[in-house]
């Protein structure tokens, strides 16, 4: 995790709110005729597959029916801007019938709900046009709660119009404030302030700033709001029945767990590209998060990573090609959003993103060819009190089963350790932050580099005894002190490795209070393999296994709890599997037979000393205060619709943020360098040299890295070798 500023000049609620309006527009006409035969086949296949193969199948009964009913309505109209309460009451006749309809491949509820939704959406076009044709009164007091889960559906059309009025007023108010702020900044620009006469303007070739009235800016803001909605209506108008039915099927699958999904043919193609490691222009892997396009991973060394502004967890709201007009992508299908984001090498893309603190930033990235080399293991050497330590960054547990001689993370890690041993490092720090997992095989093999042979993880199918997966190589590649650095985005295979090191007492785990908490395994089933049909039926990604630690506990939900927890911006947020809908529960099975090692003579002393340092460190204290402040802002969901009060709240929030400005200025006294084997490569390759310069600079500014290295430097091994214990 890069050490960046955690403060903001705005609350979470002050995002560009027109994007929320845009985000609820899935599409408004059928581009192609429905195919009921195909839909019935799909619903039957998905139901059968879930019943037979899912790790924890649900009874498809009245309770299941009620959840599908509620969630499908919410998927169609999450912001309650289309359906009326009378529509919901009418459709409630199906509330406890959907389970029977699924079993009989009856599409009645689906057809009624989609038809009524499309009807209401068509009617809404005239509503927003009419509202935006007249100026808003921003002197009038009023507020708006943006927590849509609390809102009921409108009782009638008049109340629905009122909902729209408040939403559009908020959207326009946000744009208006931006315009006024920008105009004031331009007017106060020192270069222009010195140009007080026409002669001075001519001499300096600077054009005077055009000062527009509040009314003029308000009109422009309304026009922008309307134009944005026009674009979304037009752009989303090409959804066909397969898109709608995909939403319905996923409402079924999401009841089982958040990682079980149906992929329509177009979505399956995109999924295959992601799994194959196809990298799009900016060097980021993206995923759908509700109606948003979320940054799931930054490719080490890629243009977004090099820039340092885009972060994992950022939500991309708008995309502009260079200085062109930005396009709102909230509510857009992921594959369509990616089409806007990717592009040719050397071209500029400007992303409007919402950060975790709710602030809005425009990030410029020059697209480039993403070099796979930078997704591999890399290391650095750092000296502390004339003692050398190694830092190994592992971005993912990579492997390619289709290429015999292709690199994999286990062999690369083994080689990197040998290179660091040649430099006489006294300890190793393995950085797994933002590592979303990957190959289970390599996670087991890498665990084996630090222990003698023994169990590493337990993998369990439904109704079967757990399969204990072990390291069978007695060789220990590294016998010295070991620290593993994790965060909330360390998931899956990362958690297996960290858990094994913790259960064996082999390493100190330091970082966020807990890792992501994904303890499940999915398999992708191409549905045409199970039913011969002339059309592409897509695929079902289904949870089929669960991971368990060798101590018997699952990594599901709880993840790996750090031995030493350090505060960060996510401390008071529900991040990871816990934030997903319908996650599988944590549970425990019998532990495997293993013997923890006793290699550190001062393990508990080092852990306790670190906790005290963190507790007393002024920088960590302010990070924790900032995290509480961020949570407070996120929990406040009421926005003011009076311009002066809206501005006053923003100004107050910005004033409060000044207390956290020093967070982004932190810099340690540590100096990081490439290991000796890489020095010649860096001299020959200016691009590699620049990448390492950026990485080492980020490490120097990383307070989490510094404390992890402090812990590593304090660990003392027992005199006799106690690693070989089984």
Q: Please, what is the Cα angle at 479 between 485 and 469, to 5 degrees?
A: 70
| pLDDT for res 29 | 39
pLDDT at 511: 97
Q: Give the closest residue to 427 by CA, choosing from 375, 395, 475, 385.
A: 385
Q: Where are the extended beta strands (E) located within 386-529?
A: 387-393, 428-431, 454-461, 467-471, 482-486, 508-511, 520-526
**C-alpha torsion 432→436→441→443, nearest 10:** 20
Kindly give, in sequence order, each residue whose CB lies less than 8 Å from that of residue 488, ignoring residues fewer than 6 positions away. Answer: 512, 514, 515, 516, 568, 570, 575, 576
- Tokens matching residue 237: 């108008």
Give the burial string for 357-376 (b: 16+ CB within 10 Å, else e).
bbbbeebebebbebbeebbb
CA end-to-end distance (rounded Å), the chain: 36
Q: DSSP secondary structure string, 356-389?
A: TTS-EEEEEEE--PPPGGGGS-EEEEEEETTEEE
Whole-number Å distance between alpha carbons of 619 and 38: 59
Q: Are the C-beta atoms of residues 491 and 516 closer than 8 Å to each other? A: yes
Q: At what angle do helices 409-421 and 440-447 cross, to 10 degrees?
A: 30
What pLDDT sits at residue 294? 86
Which residue, chain included where needed, has tokens 């927003």? Answer: 128
Tell me the β-bridge partners of 145.
638
DSSP sequence for 47-63: HHHHHHH-SSPPP-SHH
Pick the closest to residue 388 from 481, 501, 526 (CA basis).
481
What distances in angstroms separate CA 554 from CA 200, 364, 558, 651, one per listed residue?
Answer: 72, 41, 8, 46
Mapping DSSP to helix (H, G, I), strand (E, B) and coil, where does residue 538 land?
Answer: coil
pTM: 0.81
Instruction: Give the pLDDT of residue 5.
Output: 29
Is the Cβ–Cβ distance between 294 and 311 less than 8 Å? no
Token pair belonging to 271: 């999924």
Q: 579: helix, coil or strand?
A: helix
Strand 508-511 vs strand 564-565: parallel, antiparallel, or unpaired? parallel
Cα Rg of the chain (Å, integer):
28
**Comparing C-alpha atoms, which of 487, 442, 478, 58 is closest to residue 313?**
487
* pLDDT given for residue 521 in this prediction: 92
Which segments of the chain have a pLDDT < 70? 1-33, 189-209, 235-236, 238, 268-280, 290-291, 300-301, 331, 333, 370-374, 401-406, 720-726
Which CATH superfamily includes the segment(s) 280-366? PDZ domain (2.30.42.10)
Give the pLDDT confidence score for residue 338 in this predicted structure.
84
Residue of 429, 430, 421 whose CA lies nearest to 394: 430
Cβ-count burial of 282 within 10 angstroms (0-12 exposed, 13-18 middle, 19+ buried)?
A: buried
CB atoms within 10 A of CB 551: 17
Is residue 698 exposed (0-12), middle (13-18) or buried (19+ Cβ within 10 Å)? middle
CA distance 42 to 44: 5
Q: The tokens of 244 are what?
A: 């709608």
List beta partners, residue 390.
381, 428
pLDDT in tens, 21-38: 333 333 333 445 678 899
Position 241 scores a pLDDT of 81
Q: pLDDT tens digits, residue range 445-489? A: 999 999 999 999 999 999 999 999 999 999 999 999 999 999 999
Sequence length of the chain is 726
Give the integer Cα–Cα distance in Å for 8 and 630.
Answer: 9
Q: Do 387 and 715 form a contact (C-beta atoms < 8 A)?
A: no
pLDDT tens column, 565-624:
999 988 998 889 998 999 999 999 999 999 999 999 999 999 999 999 999 999 999 999
Domain ranges of the chain: 14-253, 280-366, 375-530+543-714
Burial of 5 (0-12, 13-18, 19+ CB in 10 A): middle
Number of CB atoms found within 10 A of residue 441's CB? 16
Nearest to 335 by CA among 278, 297, 384, 409: 278
Task: Determine the Cα–Cα distance for residues 160 and 131; give it in Å rounded to an integer.
Answer: 12
| CATH 3.90.226.10 assigned to 375-530+543-714 | yes
Q: Are strands 539-548 and 261-263 parallel, antiparallel or unpaired?
A: antiparallel
* SS3 state at 552: coil
The whole-number pLDDT of residue 200 equals 36
Burial label for 586, CB within 10 Å (0-12, 13-18, 19+), is middle
SS3 content of the chain, % helix, strand, coil (to 5): 45, 15, 40
User: Contact 326/227 with Cβ under 8 angstroms?
Assistant: no
């Amino acid at each position: 995790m890069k050490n960046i500023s955690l403060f903001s000049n705005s609350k979470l609620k002050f995002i560009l709110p027109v994007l929320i309006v845009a985000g609820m527009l899935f599409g408004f006409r059928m581009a192609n005729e429905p195919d009921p035969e195909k839909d019935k086949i799909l619903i039957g296949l998905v139901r059968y597959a879930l019943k037979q193969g899912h790790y924890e199948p649900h009874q498809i009964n009245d309770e299941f029916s009620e959840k599908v009913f509620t969630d499908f309505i919410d998927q169609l109209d999450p912001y309650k801007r289309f359906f009326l309460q009378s529509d919901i009451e009418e459709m409630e006749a199906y509330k406890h019938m959907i389970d029977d309809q699924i079993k009989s491949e009856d599409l009645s509820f689906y057809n009624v709900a989609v038809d009524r939704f499309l009807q209401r959406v068509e009617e809404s076009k005239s509503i927003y046009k009419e509202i935006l044709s007249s100026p808003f009164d921003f002197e009038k007091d009023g507020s708006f709660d943006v927590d849509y889960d609390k809102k009921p559906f409108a009782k009638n059309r008049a109340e629905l119009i009122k909902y729209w009025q408040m939403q559009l007023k908020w959207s326009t108010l946000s744009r208006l404030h931006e315009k006024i702020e920008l105009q004031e900044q331009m007017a106060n620009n020192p270069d222009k302030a010195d140009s007080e006469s026409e002669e001075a303007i001519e001499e300096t070739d600077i054009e005077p700033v055009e000062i527009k009235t509040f009314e003029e800016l308000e009109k422009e803001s309304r026009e922008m709001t309307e134009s944005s909605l026009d674009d979304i209506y037009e752009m989303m108008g090409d959804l066909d029945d397969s898109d709608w039915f995909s939403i319905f099927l996923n409402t079924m699958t999401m009841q089982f767990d958040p990682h079980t999904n149906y992929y329509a043919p177009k979505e399956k193609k995109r999924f295959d590209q992601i799994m194959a490691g196809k990298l799009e222009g900016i060097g980021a892997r993206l995923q759908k998060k509700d109606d948003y396009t979320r940054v799931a991973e930054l490719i080490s060394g890629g243009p977004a990573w090099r820039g340092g502004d885009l972060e994992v967890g950022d939500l991309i709201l708008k995309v502009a090609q260079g200085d062109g007009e930005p396009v709102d992508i909230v509510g857009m299908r992921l594959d369509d959003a990616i089409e806007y984001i990717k592009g040719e090498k050397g071209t500029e893309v400007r992303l409007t993103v919402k950060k975790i603190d709710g602030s809005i930033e425009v990030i410029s990235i020059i697209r480039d060819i993403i070099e796979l080399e930078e997704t591999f293991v890399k290391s650095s050497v750092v000296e502390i009190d004339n003692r050398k330590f190694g830092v190994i960054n592992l971005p993912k547990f990579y492997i390619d089963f289709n290429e015999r001689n292709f690199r994999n993370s286990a062999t690369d890690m083994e080689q990197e350790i040998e290179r660091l041993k040649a430099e006489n490092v006294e300890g190793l720090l393995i950085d797994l932050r933002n590592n979303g997992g990957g190959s289970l095989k390599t996670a087991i093999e890498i665990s084996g580099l630090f222990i003698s042979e023994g169990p590493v993880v337990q993998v369990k199918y439904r109704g079967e005894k757990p399969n204990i997966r072990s390291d069978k190589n007695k060789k220990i590649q590294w016998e010295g002190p070991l620290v593993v650095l994790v965060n909330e985005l360390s998931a899956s295979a990362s958690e297996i490795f960290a858990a094994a090191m913790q259960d064996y007492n082999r390493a100190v785990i330091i970082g966020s209070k807990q890792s992501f908490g994904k303890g499940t395994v999915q398999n992708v089933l191409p549905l045409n393999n199970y039913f011969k049909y002339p059309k592409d039926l897509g695929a079902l990604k289904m949870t089929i296994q669960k991971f368990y630690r060798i101590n018997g506990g699952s990594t599901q939900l709880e993840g790996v709890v750090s031995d030493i927890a350090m505060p960060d911006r996510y401390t008071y947020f529900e991040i990871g599997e816990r934030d997903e809908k319908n996650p599988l529960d944590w549970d425990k099975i019998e532990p495997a037979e293993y013997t923890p090692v006793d290699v550190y003579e001062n393990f508990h002393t080092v852990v306790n000393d670190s906790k005290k340092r963190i507790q007393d460190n002024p920088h960590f204290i302010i990070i924790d205060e900032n995290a509480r402040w961020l949570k407070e802002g996120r929990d406040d969901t009421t926005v003011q619709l009076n311009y002066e009060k809206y501005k006053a709240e923003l100004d107050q929030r910005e004033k409060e943020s000044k207390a956290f400005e020093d967070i982004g200025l932190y810099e340690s006294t540590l100096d990081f360098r490439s290991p000796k084997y890489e020095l010649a490569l860096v001299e020959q390759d200016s691009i590699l040299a620049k990448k390492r310069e950026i990485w080492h600079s980020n490490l120097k500014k990383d307070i989490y890295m510094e404390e992890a290295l402090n812990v590593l430097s304090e660990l003392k091994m027992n005199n006799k070798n106690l690693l070989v214990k089984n």
